[in-house]
Structure 1
């Protein structure tokens, strides 16, 4: 399964989700390809230093360069998980023929209509909270994918 995580600038939430989920999927033996992109990303931007540090505390390396979500990304993905409803709507508006595979991460993993808080500009503690929120959601996602695999 090819999964892409999407946020705004692809420097905080989606790269953290990508790195966290790669780690979780590897531990659980899930056969997934994972990447991230942004709906308004500058090409070749760096990940936030606090995002890097928050993941480093979990022994997860974040070597990341930002990228803009492209039509090729959308077509190649089996599942597109956004951080907010606004990201979801932007993608559906731009790539409407693929709307059946676009969900917010909270909608898909936890069944709730809420956004993942944006840590951009916050303290390291804010980034830790975002990391932990994502980690909980990604563990739920992994459980769902594991159940689907076992069927």
Structure 2
């Protein structure tokens, strides 16, 4: 059984919605999963935001979870760690570099092996070179900087925008985006299971 951990900032909006949606949709499709969520900048025990709960209720989900701070136990437990943004992914990997092979943004994982992958790899290589050069007192060449900017424009965003503090409409829009992506995640997991059988 695959164990999936969703990660966002406070674990009161996006990751609990992703957790609850994946749990419900996987059960409906008969795909066995264990799902949890956590936050990179939170404390244990905060309630799920009122608007996130409402967006889930509109989908017939009664989610009463509480926030959980990201920790070693959660990361070790997971077979797959899916963050809501690239910033969450970078934070997580700073603390848990051993999780690099199983950590992606949700959208990055769903669209893995798409045409954007080569661009993403080139962009990550340029970022690495930039950080190395900066650490040594140097900087990117004009050509490298131009490539970096072009790739940033070309690659679609793999972030799910934080609705925190926003209107119910903003939470509803976020829930729709997460739900659509979670459905694609289930398609991918279902295909992977079929290939292993």
TM-score category, normalised to shorter length: over 0.9
Stretches of structure 1 lacking an aligned partner (at least 5 in a row): none
1:148 aligns with 2:192: yes
Aligned residue in 1 for 2:132: none
Secondary structure at the counterpart of residue 136 of structure 1 = helix
Partner Cα separation in structure 1 for residue 23 and residue 158 of structure 2: 23
Gaps in structure 2 of 5+ consecutive residues: 113-155
Give the C-alpha shift of residue 114 in structure 1.
1.9
Matched, 1:134 2:178: yes
TM-score calculated relative to the size of structure 2? 0.75
> For structure 1, which segment, 74-83 or 108-117, has the greater mean C-alpha deviation from structure 2 after superposition?
108-117
The superposition leaves residues 49-89 of structure 1 with CA deviations (integer Å, 9 ceiling, x where unpaired) of: 00000110111111111000110111110000000000000
Q: Which residue of 2 aligns with 1:43?
A: 44
Within a 5 Å distance, the mapping from 1:87-106 to structure 2 comes to 87-106=88-107
- Is the 8 Å Cα contact of residues 110 and 137 (structure 1) preserved in structure 2? no
Which has the higher Rg, Structure 1 or Structure 2?
2
Secondary structure at the residue paired with 1:3?
Answer: strand
Which secondary structure state, in structure 2, belongs to the residue aligned with residue 44 of structure 1?
A: coil
Structure 1 runs of 4+ off > 4 angstroms? none
- When normalised by structure 1's length, the TM-score is 0.97
Q: How many residues align?
A: 151
CA contact (8 A) 1:10 1:47 kept: yes
CA RMSD in angstroms, aligned pairs only: 0.9
